Amino acid sequence: MFKPKFNYTHNIVNNLVEITSARELILNAYLVPKWEISLRREALIRATHASTAIEGNPLTLEEVSKLAQGRKVTATRKTKQEVLNYLHVLENIKKYQKDKKITESHILKLHRDITKGTLENPEWEGKYRRIQVYVGNKITGEIIFTPPPSKEVPILMKEFLEWLNSKESSKLHPVLVAGISHYEFVRIHPFVDGNGRCARALATLILYIREFDIKRFFTLDDYYDSDRIAYYSALKSVTQKTFDLTQWLEYFTEGVRVSILRVEEKVLQLSLERQKQREKGQIALTERQMKIIEFIQRNGRITSGDIQKTFNISRQAVHKEIKKLLELEIIEQKGSGRRIFYVLK
């Protein structure tokens, strides 16, 4: 069975301590629902942009944001599809597991959804590779290492997933499990293309399963994209003789630390803005009200008709939901007469 090799260094331990501390602060901070949704949406857009950009997608952050809102962007069909695929995967990350276990079928579906309509050969979608491939730095063209022969992929993935779902894995810090999994997936390189995006999505999925995704407010992909050379160097730091992951995990945990501290700073700023309301406690919203806010976040506005159509409810029920959100000062009314619509306040 796969067994990761690494040593706990001062850097790794200190990073994990800061990460855990920041996580607790963020989870206990006062945030109104619209802020939570805004932070989550921002992280989703940034993660999608960064992860696809690392693989050579030319769309800017602003263009990715427009595409996510359903707006038109001038780009090739493949370019747009790559972004929409990754966005869809992150939005539905929880469906790639069952009872907190990740199976081979989940991995194959993850790859199929990430690469749908973008590969040179559609038959490669959601199927392990049957040819030899090479892992290289797309910036410099340098070959980092040669993955195992294709015939070894099925058994290597089976051993890796057995470890990932094992008691041994459950005893490790979630961030370490995510980091180890990220590297091992890239090392095996089970698919012809899309391995990097799958590895990063897998790390996100693991943090979600282990309840360490901090309400999905932060993204690691942004950290990798900010210095791609450092990202590739960290991957290359693992020698193929010893497979010692220590240096890689120092880099990975540092990335989580930097990313989560940014979120912590933002959360503290938001909390201070509403210090007086802190005494009133969290604002409890129903699932329907949260979805109304998410609709506004995605589309910029919502009308009574939108709510009635989305939830198939009566006009009275719609009025009740709007009244509640207005009273809580989460949304505000714009326009007049039949052109009334609502936006986040």
Residue 284: what pLDDT? 66
CB 171 within 8 A of CB 114: no
Kindly report, residue by residue over 304-319, the tens digit of the pLDDT: 999 998 888 998 999 9
Active-site choice (49, 111, 182, 189): 189
Residues 212, 313, single domain; the answer is no
Mean pLDDT of 199-213: 91
Residue 282: what pLDDT? 54
The number of domains in the chain is 2
CA 300 to the chain's CA centroid: 22
Residue 276: what pLDDT? 46
Residues 248, 302, single domain; the answer is no
The verdict on residue 5 lying in a domain is no
Residues 170, 243, single domain; the answer is yes
What CATH number did the domain enclosing 84 receive? 1.10.3290.10
Residues 309, 244, single domain; the answer is no
Got the DSSP string for 181-234? HHHHHHHH--SSS-HHHHHHHHHHHHHHHTT-SGGGT--SHHHHHHTHHHHHHH
Kindly report, residue by residue over 240-288, the tens digit of the pLDDT: 788 899 999 999 999 999 988 888 888 877 765 555 454 455 566 777 8
The verdict on residue 84 lying in a domain is yes
- pLDDT band, residue 207 (cuts 50/70/90): very high
The share of the chain scoring above pLDDT 70, in percent, equals: 92
Mean pLDDT of 24-30: 80
Closest-CA residue to 209 (of 103, 100, 96, 105): 100
**Whole-number Å distance between alpha carbons of 32 and 328:** 10
- Residue 189 annotated in active site: yes
What CATH number did the domain enclosing 329 receive? 1.10.10.10
Question: Range of 331's domain?
Answer: 287-344
Count Cβ atoms below 10 Å from residue 59 Cβ, excluding itself: 21
Mean pLDDT of 80-104: 94
273 sits in which H/E element = helix 246-273
Residue 264: what pLDDT? 84
